[in-house]
Chains A and B, each alone.
Chain A
Amino acid sequence: MKKHGFALFVLFFGIFLYFINLSTLPYLNSLYSYVRYLVQPLFELKGILLESTTRAVNTYLFLTGVSAENQRLKRELEECALYKVQLNTCESSLIDLGKMIELTPDVKHYSVMYAHVIAYDPSGNDNFVLINRGQGAGAEEGMVVFHGYSLLGIVDRVYGGSSRVRTVYSEDFSISVAAGGKAYIYKGGYPYGSLLHVNLEDDLKGGDPIFLRVPGKNFPSLLIGTVHSVSQEGKSFFKRVQVKPAVDVRRASLCVVIKEKL
């Protein structure tokens, strides 16, 4: 019974010690510091051990993640290779068909360069990004930059070792696009861009994809975005169509530049 009593006393004393923050008490602070000074090497070793184990665990987790990502990318690469073979078959069939009806389809293989995004728009509106390819790499104003299947923007200023890309979110960005089988003008904006001069009878609805269209050129139809909303304002001749850009600028760390001016 006596021992139970003493144990309970220590238990509540422990709670008391825990809540009064023993090490911060003015009279005990110096004593605590002195004891801490004596056992400092032990705590330093503990810190090193903790840090190195944490690093080892994080490295292991990172490498496991990288390995899984590699496997996924390998699968994707195989799918892309198959897709490319199918496209080549289609291309040769198209050329043969063109010859038969005496037409020469404009099949062109664009040369591309890969670039890393090195800076983003500090305003937060994603109006532009800086890429690490400039004059030295052959970048020129008007080149198309894309990420994944989506248009990122157009190179609008070229420096020595970098270029500025005006993105689809910028209000200064406008380009010819195709939607629902018709041509429109896309004007950038954050967070939504818009389609200009959409007639009232045009059948555009939310979710419709908007693709890049370059008149007179057989350019890849890159996705610009999807229709977010369609509305009619007063007695206007045109509909108001908002477009949600497809590209997530802040995720686009690696992008591709088509070495061909629009």
Chain B
Amino acid sequence: MRFYLFAFLLAYFQSSALLAFFKSFLFAPNFLLVYLFLNLVEEDKEYGLKKALISGLFLDILQDSVGLNLSGYMLFTVAMNLMRLRFEFPSRTSVIFAYALLSIVEKLWVLTLFRVKYLTELDLPLAIFGLILELGFLSLMLRWRLRKHS
């Protein structure tokens, strides 16, 4: 339950305050995705389908884009589970690297779907800045969680 509550708050923050800093939700850092990823990494045996589905729905409802974020989150979860079957994440750097790869795939997916339906400009510097913020947030969360567990 704690996961869903925090996920909702993150989704709310992302679709209100963060949208003011970034022109579009396409380029805003997806902190909810980071949070979902961390939870999936920590719980090895869980597939995370329900968590991804509900997190995606939260974002879709708050951003009025029903289906867009949902499909992105599902793709992210499937790709992550496939990656977990083959690789392990022994260090913090490997976790960040794996997330960066998966996040780029998810962002490209969402952007492609959005561009199929609407005409929008790709603001690459802003998107990269958003991704860097995401990775920074992931790094902070990882450090905090490691300290908590040790």
Contact = CB atoms under 8 A, between A and B. Distances in A.
Contacts of A12: 71
Contacts of B21: 53, 57
Q: Is the interface of B mostly helix, strand, loop or mixed?
A: helix
Contacts of A13: 67
Interface string B1-39: 000000000001001110111000000000000000000
B98 interface: no
B11 to A, nearest CB: 10
Q: Is the interface of A mostly helix, strand, loop or mixed?
A: helix
B65 A14 contact: no
A22 interface: yes
A44 to B, nearest CB: 11
A7 B71 contact: no
Contacts of B75: 11
Interface residues of B, number: 29
A18 B117 contact: yes
Contacts of A6: 49
B17 A53 contact: yes
Interface in B65-114: 65-68, 70-72, 74-75, 77-78, 81-82, 113
Nearest to A10: B74
Contacts of A11: 71, 74-75, 78
Contacts of B56: 14
B62 A46 contact: yes
Chain A: number of interface residues, binned into ranges: 20 to 34
B53 interface: yes
Contacts of B53: 10
Interface in A1-56: 3-4, 6-8, 10-19, 22-23, 46-47, 49-50, 53-54, 56
Interface of A: 3-4, 6-8, 10-19, 22-23, 46-47, 49-50, 53-54, 56-57
Interface of B: 12, 15-17, 19-21, 47, 49, 52-53, 56, 62, 64-68, 70-72, 74-75, 77-78, 81-82, 113, 117
